[in-house]
Amino acid sequence: MTDFSVGAQIPEVRVTPDKYLTNRYAGASGDFNPIHIDEEFAKAVGLPGRILHGLWTMAQVARAQTDAAGGPQTLKRLSVQFRGMGVPEQEVIVRGTVLEAGDGRVLVDTVAEQADKQIIRNAQAELKL
């Protein structure tokens, strides 16, 4: 059982997106922007290569919350700030700290990092326990 007292850390989520993830996610999301699926195009516009879809990264933040709280029905609100680009084949680590707790609800501050850089920060999730 996860400790949801103020200051407690929720369990980390670690995931390494494989090299085909952006193609699969493009099909699932309908976002076929070439910065996500075409390596040469992404490099031509100044990126390091294909980059992860921001919404995929946000989904990992949501996953950390729902894994910790017992399922998707517990997530009542989620807001994030996209602050960097993630790339395939490098581990993404999601960490969260409980900011507020009481009355069957908690507020969790969360970040997602890749290669020691925050790609999502100031994410806040409200969970109903």
**pTM, whole model, 2 decimals?**
0.94
Q: What is the CATH number of the domain that holds 24?
A: 3.10.129.10
Q: In this predicted model, what pLDDT tens digit does every residue of 41-97 receive, in sequence order?
A: 999 999 999 999 999 999 999 999 999 999 999 999 999 999 999 999 999 999 999
Q: In this predicted model, what pLDDT tens digit does every residue of 26-41 receive, in sequence order?
A: 999 999 999 999 999 9
Number of folded domains in the chain?
Answer: 1
Q: In this predicted model, what pLDDT tens digit does every residue of 90-103 receive, in sequence order?
A: 999 999 999 999 99
Predicted confidence at residue 51, as pLDDT, reads 98
Q: Does 35 reside within a domain? A: yes
DSSP letters spanning the chain: ----STTPEEEEEEE---TTHHHHHHHHH----HHHH-HHHHHHTT-SS----HHHHHHHHHHHHHHHHTSGGGEEEEEEEE-S---TTS-EEEEEEEEEEETTEEEEEEEEEETTEEEEEEEEEEEE-
